[in-house]
Amino acid sequence: EDHHHISSSRNNPVNIYAFVQTNPDDPAKKNFIRSLQDHLLGCLRGRTFDGDTDESFTSADRLTVRLQNETIFRVCTARINYTTYDLRRAYDTINPRTHPFVMVASPEVEPGSHPFWYASVIGIFHANVQHIGKDSKDYRPQRMEFLWVRWLGIEPDRSFGQQQALLPKIGFIPDSDEFAFGFLDPSLVLRACHLLPSFVDGRTNKLLTPMPNNQATEARPSGEKDDWVNYYVGM
DSSP label of 69: G
Q: Could you list the mean pLDDT of each consecutive 10-residue stretch along the chain, which spans 235 residues?
A: 94 98 95 95 88 79 94 98 90 96 90 87 98 87 97 78 68 95 97 95 95 91 93 88
Phi, psi of 124 (to 5 degrees): -120, 125
| Pairing between β-strand 78-83 and β-strand 4-6 as defined by DSSP bridges | antiparallel
C-alpha 148/C-alpha 197 separation (Å) is 22
Task: List, in sequence order, every residue forming a beta bridge with 72; answer none if it has no partner.
Answer: 14
For residue 33, the one-letter residue type is I
Q: 197 CB contacts (<8 Å, ≥6 apart)?
A: 228, 230, 231
C-beta neighbour count of 28 within 10 angstroms = 19
- By the 8 A CB rule, do 174 and 180 touch? yes
C-alpha 116/C-alpha 157 separation (Å) is 17
pLDDT in tens, 43-72: 998 888 887 666 778 999 999 999 999 999
In angstroms, the CA 147 to CA 183 distance is: 5
Q: Which residue from 208, 216, 210, 146 is spatially nearest to 171, judged by alpha carbons?
A: 208
Strand partners, 65: 131
pLDDT given at position 165? 43
Give the whole-angstrom CA distance, residue 107 versus residue 209. 28
pTM score, whole prediction: 0.93
Give the integer Cα–Cα distance in Å for 30 and 123.
15
- Element of type H or E holding 35: helix 32-44
The tens digit of pLDDT for each residue in 162-173 reads 555 478 899 999
